[in-house]
Structure 1
């Protein structure tokens, strides 16, 4: 569900985000190891910045963006603590990426058309818009505007196939959303690690927990911009 900037700021300021697990998602780590990430990379809804930090450390040209200034501040502190001072984070609305001055300034080909990313890694952002068709469509249009022709969007989203935490969606939501201008090349079952905080304690009570984390069902989709 779409929330205000103030809501997301409060989550980071209180450190109660269940998606802040102190490490990258294993599914994203494997995605990189399999060679699926290339060129300029965008990490929308970067949160604590773990994926931007990982990819920066590995030598990728990557920028993480988030609607929440508190999230961006958190990510910058996280990068400094991990010794990855070159990790870049900017405040930007994922529904209006093409219009974000900070993003254009960070990565711009200088051709007057704004940023163009070869790979976009969406870890647990898409499903936030899952039940809101207008917001979901706006997000997909926003991704199309900044993804290079032939580039890829990888979506890791919570799945409704099993009990879990947070906003879970069906694979049909992903299939229906990426229509004209996209080719859905693959969608498969995956897993997502979440931290048990008070915001998801009731849902997590029914799940197996290991070291304060739950391992829940997810979708991993690979979509090519045409």
Structure 2
């Protein structure tokens, strides 16, 4: 990203129901992580949005907290959890200040890629502070090999961001699922309302 989007952009997307990342279910890549046993201990779902991953994990018995900077996202997530009958916890919080060494696993689904270079560095420092020694951070981010569904990052963006103080255990190609909005239709080549799977990166990073 050249410039990190404003908070109002995200808040307005939830209020208007036009958030292309709200698909009514967890991302398949995150579901696969859980099934592979790669989510453990105390979990933070950072940039939780509509709360689908927090709800998934809470329903499976994980100690998980979902946080988002957009108040409308947290309101949406709480309504979503109530509708699904899941006792899930959500809070409004700043990803740049996540606290100190409280989490064994941090899940980032489509947050890392929204930050410009300066904010990305601040965000990664915040993740480092919040993650316990030996803990894992999972980053699902749109790839620069995509068609313009949203902000995109390269392999080197991820490797550079998680350099000193981290061990990059895995960086694989995967997909990110979203719903095409009218503003994206031409770039994607699909009609608004179409469910698409776009190229993405899935990184597994350990804090030593």
Shorter chain as denominator, the TM-score bin is over 0.9
CA–CA distance in structure 1, aligned partners of residues 155 and 98 of structure 2: 24
Report the counterpart of residue 62 of structure 2 in structure 1: 60
- Asked if residue 94 in structure 1 is aligned to residue 78 in structure 2, the reply is no
Q: Which runs of 5+ in 1 are unaligned?
A: 99-113
Q: Which runs of 5+ in 2 are unaligned?
A: none
CA–CA distance in structure 1, aligned partners of residues 10 and 171 of structure 2: 29
Cα RMSD, aligned residues only: 1.5
Q: Is the 8 Å Cα contact of residues 113 and 141 (structure 2) preserved in structure 1?
A: yes
CA–CA distance in structure 2, aligned partners of residues 212 and 163 of structure 1: 14
User: 1:16 Cα shift?
Assistant: 0.3
User: 1:158 Cα shift?
Assistant: 0.3
CA–CA distance in structure 1, aligned partners of residues 181 and 25 of structure 2: 16
Match of 1:120 among 97, 103, 106: 106
Provide TM-score, normalisation by structure 2: 0.95
> Where in structure 1 do 4 or more consecutive aligned residues deviate above 4 Å?
none
- Asked if residue 187 in structure 1 is aligned to residue 177 in structure 2, the reply is no
- Which one is further off, 191-200 or 146-155? 191-200
Q: Is the 8 Å Cα contact of residues 182 and 192 (structure 2) preserved in structure 1?
A: no
Match of 1:214 among 190, 196, 199: 196
Q: Is the 8 Å Cα contact of residues 67 and 93 (structure 2) preserved in structure 1?
A: yes
CA–CA distance in structure 2, aligned partners of residues 179 and 196 of structure 1: 34
